[in-house]
Chains A and B, each alone.
Chain A
Amino acid sequence: MKTIEDLKRLREQLKTKNNLRHDGGTQIIVGMGTCGIAAGARQVMTAVLEEVAKRKLEDVKVCQTGCIGMCEKEVLLDVVRPGEPRITYGRVTPADVPKIIAEHVVNGRIIAELAIGKIVE
């Protein structure tokens, strides 16, 4: 059974690896309003976190946001690579997540057929 002590040990290991993360990594944002949750946002979030753990992505930041008004296109998932426009993917399913991570987050290639919008900041 995993314990808090395990986390303390893990912290010590990570300290020696000296891989403290810096700001400026890629951000993944999942829409978690009632509409998002009803459409399966938690499962998408779970898939994102599994993929981050599996691929050992050290510089990705994952967060959640509320309803932004495009409820019919939920689940919405945004990817923001540093210095690049914010890309919104719509009707995302857990099955789409490995592709979005491999193509866009890791390799920087936007998946046009899943994208529904682009915000230039």
Chain B
Amino acid sequence: MREISLHILDLVQNSIEAGATAVKLEIIETIVKDSMVIRVYDNGRGMNKKMRQLVIDPFITTRTTRRIGLGLPLMDMSTKRCGGYLKIDSTPGQGTVIEAMYQHSHFDRPPMGNLVETIKSILVGNPVLEFSYKHTVDDKSISISSREIADILDGISLTQPDVLIWLHGYLSDNIANLYGGANDENN
């Protein structure tokens, strides 16, 4: 994966496949601490201790659970290469929290990439998922949730063409604004 935003899309898909109905994405970039932290919280089926260890090993796969794949090992590798870590906190029957940390200025850190398209795909492609997104860069932050949008839309779908255009504009403007209005990290 060339972009952190693609890993994020992958993490959220994992949550959905674990039966989650609600997923919360949190991105915290703190330049003074030189850190970028990404957390994905879900209310899926969760994993036991053994499974938590297995999922970051690419050479062990149990085909009975669809959670196993290359996604987490790839992200684990990518964080470790950049002075960071990938942490899995999970309780069977309750859900999982994945925390990925990168050293913000690290030379090998992949770019955030096109976060707008990632958030748009998650929101539009999973109409029944309760998804919320909060992103903080130093003292600026934005948040949006599928519930907030659904309340306003009151029955109109996110795939309604004019709504899609709004969503794209809203995410692009607000995410660019986090980085001082420049699109430096986001293509």
Contact = CB atoms under 8 A, between A and B. Distances in A.
Does B associate with A? Answer: yes
Contact of B10 (A14, A37, A46, A60): A37
Contact of A34 (B71, B118, B120): B71
A12 B152 CA distance: 10
Interface string B147-168: 0110011111101111111101
Chain B at the A interface: mostly helix, strand, loop or mixed? helix
A33 B169 contact: no
B6 A42 contact: yes
Interface centre among A7, A21, A58 (most CB of B within 10 A): A7
Given A2-B173, A7-B149, A45 B161 contact: no
B105 interface: no
A34 B70 contact: yes
A53 interface: yes
B35 interface: no
Contact of A56 (B156, B161, B174): B161
Contacts of B92: none
Given A2-B169, A53-B165, A56-B161, A42 B156 contact: no
Given A7-B152, A7-B170, A53-B165, A34 B124 contact: no
Contact of B159 (A43, A60, A64): A60
Given A6-B170, A7-B166, A42 B9 contact: yes
B174 A49 contact: no
Interface of B: 1, 6, 9-10, 13, 16-17, 66, 69-71, 74, 114, 117-118, 120-121, 124-127, 148-149, 152-157, 159-166, 168-170, 172-174, 177
Interface of A: 1-4, 6-8, 10-11, 13-14, 19-21, 30, 32-35, 37-38, 42-43, 45-46, 49, 52-58, 60-64, 66-67
15 contacts: A1-B174, A2-B169, A2-B172, A7-B152, A7-B166, A11-B154, A20-B155, A30-B125, A35-B69, A38-B6, A49-B124, A56-B161, A58-B160, A61-B127, A64-B126
